[in-house]
Amino acid sequence: MTSLLRFCLPAVACAGLLIACSKQGAIDTAALSPADESAPVAVPAADMPADLPALLEQAEALRQQAADLGHEWSNHAATITAAREALDAGNSGDAARLAPLAVLMGEQSVLQARTEAGRWRAAVPQ
Amino acid sequence: MKVKSRAKNGIAKVKLLARHPMHTGRAKDADGKLIPAHFIQTLTCEHKGRVVLNADFGTSVSKDPYLAFTIRGAESGDTIRLAWVDNLGETETVEATIG
Amino acid sequence: MDTMRLIVRNASAALVLGFAGLAAAGPEEDRQAFVGYFQQRFADIPFENYIDGAYNFDEDARGQWLDLEDFPPYEFALEEGEALFNTPFANGGSYADCFENGGIAIRQNYPKWDRENGRVVTLELAINECRESNGEPPYPWQKGELAAVSAYMAHTSRGEVFVIEIPVDDPRALAAYEEGKRFFYTRRGQLNMSCASCHLDGANVRLRAELPGPGLGQVTHFPVYRAKWQELGTLHRRYTGCNDQVRATPFPSQSKEYRRLEYFHTYMSNGLAVNGPGSRK
């Protein structure tokens, strides 16, 4: 009985300490778990960046360019749609995160097409 | 149901392939409606009047089940009788000769 | 490490070229280099066994597969395919009218270069064009009846060795082959991987729980019953899945891109036997 207490009490105490600390903000428990990309970033609604619609247009143009080069990424269109929906819903946190991401995906896929055009031959066994 | 069987030294190896959709009842069709459960519940094998295999299948067995098992005390020329019953009461029985 | 090997490989290749003069590197040279790559990495696999794919890498998996081949999961679809193949069309015509040798034991000749139309013709494309020229609606690609008929035609050809031809007197054929070859080695998708990433350098290198099969002998067993699909699927269905898996937007089945890829991919297996339809995980 005493050995059980000796084992359990410290564990209970640690848990209590952890909970107490997180309530006071001393330990950021959110930071302890792996970053969740789908979790919305808290940004006040008044701070919706003005350039987001232009970014979306740019992302769509890049997506089309990548598609013409045969290198469209299969999750690109969905990312653009998600950004547009966030923008329309006034969800500035998601919109501010997704719109630049959609542009980046477009740039990367077009870059991939161009780089691979010069690189692929090196992969052929001689 | 297709059955193949071969005996050697008193042990027969039996293989069977049953034709059955084995719907779990949890999957949805193209219109989004649940496909009703339709799966083999039991499969038995009889040899010389006694049941040598009694298998409870169920929803974890996938489409067109394939099963292999051995029977001790079986010789070439013996007959085995395989039968399955599904959750809708449908059955199939096949008799095969051990090769 | 890979970059080092690449540099060394290219350096030695350049050296050889320098001494021997610029050797004309055509499809046959490509194929020999392709075969040589695998035989150097996997010295224990006899050439003719490459048609068994990843089963060459795992003895337990091979044992289970051989056991299963007594009652292959594609058996029902194969019977359906035979029935479909032998059923005349509404206008009285048949598949046998469209193909050489009545459509029997011809799988090993496809894909072919269609000189008249300047395109690569795969067996599955030919099956549907046969239907259309006889007033029948084409089958949907990738699975179902098309896969069943393709499986039957492959089955009648088992044992025949692939003899894909790239006519030397039609430069468009070579260009199509080169496009297919480019596709095989080009990285695509958000995961930035090419066919070669998994099936050349990545062959027998664990990818999550799987061991990718070698690119050599890879097409010989199609159409294939994949346990994941719970049914037969065509080569282009698998191309679609592979592209999806690296987050690259796939091309349509029987598109120019996939037909050219199949042309290159099958040419690389010249000399290996047809063993379709197959069964895989």
What residue ranges do the domains of chain B occupy?
2-97
- Pair A10, A65 in one domain: no
Residues 17-76 of A with CB under 8 A from C: 67, 70-76
Give the separation between CA C69 and CA C125, rounded to whole angstroms: 28
Residues 61-80 of C with CB under 8 A from A: none
Q: Which residues in chain A show pLDDT less than 70?
A: 1-47
Q: Which residues in chain C show pLDDT less than 50?
A: 11-22
Q: Considering CB atoms only, which of B62, B63, B66 is closest to C71? A: B66
Query: What is the predicted pLDDT for the residue at B90?
Result: 97
Query: What is the predicted pLDDT for the residue at C145?
Result: 98
Nearest CA in chain B to C231: B63
Residue A66 lies in a domain: yes
> Quick check: helix, strand or coil at residue C13?
helix
Residue A125 lies in a domain: no
Query: What is the predicted pLDDT for the residue at A9?
Result: 55
Query: What is the predicted pLDDT for the residue at A8?
Result: 52
Say yes or no for a CB contact (<8 Å) between B64 and C68. no
- Pair A6, A57 in one domain: no
Query: What is the predicted pLDDT for the residue at A21?
Result: 45
Query: What is the predicted pLDDT for the residue at B21?
Result: 94
Q: Which among C235, C218, C225, C223 is positioned nearest to C270, based on CA atoms?
A: C218
Q: What is the mean pLDDT of residues B9-26?
A: 94
Interface-testing mutation among A74, A79, A105, A116, with chain C (most C C-beta atoms within 10 A): A74
Q: Which among A120, A112, A111, A116 is positioned nearest to C200, based on CA atoms?
A: A120
Q: Which among A37, A55, A42 is positioned nearest to A103, based on CA atoms?
A: A55
Residue B55 has pLDDT above 70, yes or no: yes
The domain in which residue A2 lies consists of 1-29
Chain A residues whose CB is inside 8 A of the C195 CB are none
- Pair A84, A113 in one domain: yes
Per the structure, the count of domains in chain A is 2
Say yes or no for a CB contact (<8 Å) between A124 and C181. yes
> Quick check: helix, strand or coil at residue A18?
helix
Q: Which residue of the set C98, C130, C198, C242 is catalytic?
A: C242
Give the separation between CA A14 and CA A18, rounded to whole angstroms: 6
**C-alpha pair distances (Å), A31 with each of A28, A39, A42, A98, A104:** 6, 13, 15, 21, 26
Query: What is the predicted pLDDT for the residue at A38?
Result: 62
Query: What is the predicted pLDDT for the residue at C6?
Result: 52
Chain A residues whose CB is inside 8 A of the C192 CB are 112
Give the separation between CA C203 and CA C207, rounded to whole angstroms: 9
Say yes or no for a CB contact (<8 Å) between A116 and C248. no
State the complex-level ipTM: 0.86
Query: What is the predicted pLDDT for the residue at A2?
Result: 54
Interface-testing mutation among C70, C79, C226, with chain B (most B C-beta atoms within 10 A): C70
- Pair A110, A57 in one domain: yes
Query: What is the predicted pLDDT for the residue at C70?
Result: 82
* Spatial contact of B4 and B14, defined as CB atoms under 8 Å apart: yes
Percent of chain B with pLDDT over 90: 97
Residue A72 lies in a domain: yes
Say yes or no for a CB contact (<8 Å) between C189 and A74. yes
Nearest CA in chain B to C74: B64
Nearest CA in chain B to C75: B17
Residues 26-45 of C with CB under 8 A from A: 30, 33-34, 36-37
Query: What is the predicted pLDDT for the residue at A20?
Result: 47
Nearest CA in chain B to C73: B64
CB contact set of A29 (below 8 Å; sequence gap of 6+)? A18, A22
Q: What is the mean pLDDT of residues B53-79?
A: 94
Contact present, B and C (at least 3 Cβ pairs less than 8 Å): yes
Chain B residues whose CB is inside 8 A of the C64 CB are none
- Other beta carbons within 10 angstroms of residue C61's beta carbon come to 15
Residue A83 lies in a domain: yes
The helix or strand, by DSSP H or E, that contains position B91, with its residue range, turns out to be: strand B91-97
Which tokens belong to C273? 């036997």
* Spatial contact of C66 and C231, defined as CB atoms under 8 Å apart: no
Look up the pTM and report it.
0.81
Round the average pLDDT of chain C to a whole number and report it.
Answer: 92
Annotation says C130 is catalytic: no
> Quick check: helix, strand or coil at residue C163?
coil
- Pair A64, A107 in one domain: yes
Residue B69 has pLDDT above 60, yes or no: yes
Give all domains of chain C, ordered by start, each with its CATH number.
28-281 (1.10.760.10)
Domain B2-97: CATH superfamily, name plus number: Immunoglobulins (2.60.40.10)
Say yes or no for a CB contact (<8 Å) between C71 and B19. no
Residue A39 lies in a domain: no
Interface-testing mutation among C31, C188, C240, with chain A (most A C-beta atoms within 10 A): C188
